[in-house]
Each structure stands twice: as C-alpha cells, then as structure tokens.
Amino acid sequence: IWTQEIDALMAANRLIESYETSGRSPEEMGDYLVYTREHVRWSWERHFELMYLLLINHAGFYDLCTELSIPHADVATFLQGYDSRISQGDRALWEMVDLVRENDLAQWFTSTESHADLLPKMRTAGGGAAGWAEAFDQFLDEWGWRTETVADPLSPSWIEDPAPVLQSIGTYVASGERPDFDAKRKLAEDDRENALEAARSRLSRAEQREFDQTLDSCRKANFLWWNEDHNFYIDYRTAIPMRKAALGLGQALDLADPEDTVFCFYPELLALARGETRWNELSAQVGERKDYYWSWRECRHQIPKFLGVPPESLSDPILTELDGFTPAFLETLKIEGSATTLNGMPASRGSATGPARVLLGADDIHQIQTGEILVCEGTTPSWTPAFTKIAGCLTDQGGTLSHAAIVGREYGIPCVVAMGNATARIKTGDTLALDGTTGTVTILQRAHG
C-alpha cells in the first residue's frame, strides 16, 4: 500500500513543485494557493490513514511481547536495520562531502565567507568547483525538497536556501572523518537478529509460532521504518508549495518583504489575491504578528517544558512508546535542583562519555563537534546528519519509537530519551557519562568549573 501511496505522492509533489511563480498575477497566485492548500490536506490524509493502522499493528506486537515477558526496549530492536529514504539522503549528503575531498575543494568550505554566496562563485570559477556545483544542483533536485521543521511555511527548503546544507558539508569536510554507513547498518542488523534469537530461546514452541506470526506482520507493516521513510514525502515536503504560493503572492503584490505573507491567515491571502483586501489594511497587524513570533522564539529556553501538575500514571502504550510518558518520566518532571545523576528511558544500547552540546533547534546542528553528546528537546529527520558525528544523544521527550531512538539504534549511537528537562539541567560543555542501556546520565563535571 505504501509503495502505491509513494507513487501518488511523488507525482503530486513534482507537479505542484514545478509551478513557476515569477511573473504571475495576484489572481493566478491565488489559484495556486488554493491548489497547494488542497495538496496539503490530501497529503496529510494519506499520512494519518496509514499511521494509525501501523500503530495499531505495532501495539498488538507490543502487547504480545509484554505477555511473553519480553522487555519493552527489545520490541523496537526487533524491527530495526531497514533502509529508509531519510537514511539514503544522509548517504547522498556524504557523497557530496567525498566529492569535495576528491577534487581538493576544501578551501571553498573552510573560508569565513557567507555560504549564501558559495554556489555562484563556484559556478563562475570553472573546473572542479563548477563541476561540484553542478553535482550539488543534482543533489538538491533529488534531496533538497525538504525543510528543517515539520509543516512550517516559515521554514525555507534546501532548494530555496541551501546555505544550511553547505554549512553542514563544510563542517563534515573540516572533521576529516567519514562514517561507515555499511558497518552501522550491519551492526543494527546483527543487533536485531541477536535480540530475536535471545527472545525466541526463552519461548515455548507455541509461543514462538505466535511471536513469529505477529513479528512477520510488523515487518511487513513496520511502523519504525515508515516513521522515518514517510517524512521525505510528507512531513518535510508538503509545506514547501504553501510557502512558495505565499511568497509568490508577495512578489505579485510587489511587497517590500514578500515573506511577510507567511504571517497571514489563508482567508487573508485569498482576499489579497482577489483584490478584496489591500496590503496596507493588513501590514500593521502582520508586523505585530512577526514581533510576537520572534519575541517568543527568543524566550524559548526560558519557557517551561510542561505546564500543570504531572499525572500519577498513564496507561496508553502509544504515549509511552512515542512520547516516553512513563512513570519514571512523570517523576522526573517533579525533580528540581542541581542533581548530577539523571534518568530517562533507555532507547539505544551502549555508553558514551564526552562534552554536552545543548541545542533547541536543527538550525544549529552545524555547531556540533565530533564526539559531543547531543542534548535536545527531541529530534526529527532534520537532525539525522548530526548522528554521524555525535557520541550519544539525550532528549527531553520521546519514547522508543521516537526519531532519536530509531536513528540512534540504526547508527549505533547510545541514546536516552524521555529525560523531562535535560536541556534545562545540562549546559553546553558539561562532561557527561551516558548509559543507553540503563537510561542513566551522570554529569561528571560542570563547564567552567
């Protein structure tokens, strides 16, 4: 079913993405806006129709494993080690790094000049630089139709603004390292098969038959794999045409900043496109919305992670596996002070020691240095390139089905999730010891003494 959905999604995506907005009238941009909004609705319907079916199937396997006394952490391990479109994109990104090194182009990426000007300069330089720029254009055509955040028209795609990708490539070039993706995949596969063998060895023959039958169903409808794969087609793609329509309308209206239209509601954009509203009737309110948005974004690190009194318990397995709402997590929310031992949900086996890098958004992953332990609220596919550099990962939220947990297992990176308030209690530069098998994190030394 998903293969058929991919074909339909990609046909629709390519059609709507190919629309040329330059030189269009406001009325034409209004028509395109209506089309893009319908495309968003249709795409997300495909998303949720499949997601809940896959979750129900996974929940059945989860319940069976509980009945068979199989540790909850093993359930996700049984389903890891399968290639997704997101991981394919990561490998393609590193192939661009390889091309930089093979053509001795590192100096282009290590200068202090703006990455926004890098591609035009490489194209005019000729030779290997121009060849690399052409290869990068091909990379963007295949992999650049994605944003850094989910369903956010304010977030430009890599196609629109490749500077963040170029910055990441520069960071990888400077590291002098190259992740062995084949070895990481083999490790994930071996871990999966070893866990399955160990689990089966503890079951009776009748239990093994039931276990294998349910496992086979989950492998054919693998939520963990789909939860990564679908992001390429829906979550990080469908907002791009909406943004394109809004910007195109701003250009058609000859606004000083076409991006101001992103802060308009859909009915307001339609009214502007149809001439029912003039921009000067909205401009002051749009300015207030922008100020409001950016002022709160600046305060993000001060905002409490959760509001209200934590409940005593939650019994929903989906909330547990996706969001990490376990009894231990609820207790963590009540803890205050400067404790040096923190606990969360073990999500990817292994241990690591290293300096912390606390980040609140994927826009800053280029700051990560090799061997650091990433501490964040949670991750999405936009964070995946960071997993080729980090020694470990901690997240405030998320369960064993969360992105950080899935990618941690695939890349062999120890990971602890559902820590509640790690981003508030840990500072960049703190030396951490992380145990992804037990879920324990120790602050060995605070930064600056």
Please say if the pLDDT value at position 112 is more than 60: no
Average pLDDT over residues 105-118: 81
**Residue 434: closest CA among 392, 406, 400:** 392
Average pLDDT over residues 22-26: 97
**Residue 348: closest CA among 195, 222, 211:** 195
Average pLDDT over residues 47-63: 93
CB neighbours (10 Å) of residue 309? 8
pLDDT band at 69 (very low <50, low <70, confident <90, very high): very high
Tokens of 124: 């005019």
Taking all residues of the chain, what is their mean pLDDT, rounded to a whole number?
92
Cβ atoms of 379 and 305 within 8 Å: the answer is no
Please say if the pLDDT value at position 375 is more than 80: yes
**Residue 43: closest CA among 298, 237, 262:** 237
DSSP code per residue over 8-34: HHHHHHHHHHT---TT--HHHHHHHHH
Q: Which fold has domain 317-445?
A: Glucose Oxidase; domain 1 (3.50.30)
pLDDT confidence of residue 373: 98
pLDDT band at 309 (very low <50, low <70, confident <90, very high): confident
Q: What is the pLDDT of residues 269-281, one digit of tens each?
A: 999 999 999 999 9
3-class DSSP assignment, residue 375: strand
What does residue 347 show for φ and ψ, rounded to 5 degrees? -125, -25
Domain with CATH 3.50.30.10 in the chain: 317-445
Average pLDDT over residues 43-50: 96
**d(Cα 59, Cα 36) in Å, to the nearest integer?**
34
pLDDT band at 1 (very low <50, low <70, confident <90, very high): confident
pLDDT confidence of residue 449: 55
Tokens of 81: 């080690």
Q: Which helix (H) or strand (E) holds 346?
A: strand 345-348
Tokens of 308: 């209200």
Model pTM? Answer: 0.88
Please say if the pLDDT value at position 321 is more than 80: no
Residue found under tokens 């910055």: 167
